[in-house]
Amino acid sequence: MFELLYTSVSAGKMSDSDLISLLDQSREKNKRLAITGMLIYHNREFVQILEGEKNAVQELYQTIADDDRHTSVKVFYEGEIKARAFQDWTMAFKKLEPEDVLGKVAGFEEFGADKSLVNLVEAKPNAGKELFLFLREELVSNT
């Protein structure tokens, strides 16, 4: 099993309906490719974790990198994993607000409405993975 975490910036402002459309497309494609993961969105910035077979994950990432809805696409971690962290979701999603993580996730003490999520995650990759795991638990407890 393989995981890849990347960051990107949307080419333009995304409305809620744009995000829903993107999620619907992603979930359908991920289901076909047996890929699971989570997408976080904040202020035009995306942080995403993808899990699955290595070739499928890397090919999907390349498709995302080539998509003109994304700019500044950058991998900040990839590697083998023992088990999926998001096995129940073809694509979990969270539109992140500062109050979701301030004081709750180590490494996000500086995060605020005017802060770059991408810059923070790229500067602290371990905090990025912790963010996904924390939000996964939040999603599970709210369902």
Given a contact cutoff of 8 angstroms between Cβ atoms, the answer to whether 95 and 41 are in contact is yes
- Look at residue 112 in the predicted model and tell me its pLDDT: 66
Residue range of the domain that includes 21? 2-141
Q: Between vectors from CA 7 to CA 51 and to CA 61, what angle results, nearest 5°?
A: 45
Q: Domain containing 84 — which CATH number?
A: 3.30.70.100
Distance of alpha carbon 50 from alpha carbon 52, whole angstroms: 7
Residue pLDDT, tens place only, 95-123: 887 777 777 777 777 776 667 777 777 77
Look at residue 61 and tell me whether its pLDDT is greater than 90. Answer: yes
- Look at residue 113 in the predicted model and tell me its pLDDT: 60
Mean pLDDT for the stretch of residues 38-59? 93
- How far is residue 114 from each of residues 8, 39, 86, 93, measured CA to CA in Å? 17, 20, 29, 21
* Residues contacting residue 27 through CB under 8 Å, at least 6 positions apart: 90, 91
Look at residue 21 and tell me whether its pLDDT is greater than 80. Answer: yes
Residue pLDDT, tens place only, 64-95: 999 988 899 999 889 999 999 999 889 989 88
* Amino acid, res. 61: Y
pLDDT band at 37; cut points 50, 70, 90: very high
Query: Strand (E) positions, the chain?
Result: 2-10, 36-42, 45-52, 70-80, 92-95
Look at residue 49 and tell me whether its pLDDT is greater than 90. Answer: yes
Do strands 70-80 and 2-10 pair parallel, antiparallel, or not at all (unpaired)? antiparallel
Q: What is the mean pLDDT of the chain?
A: 86
Tally the domains of the chain: 1
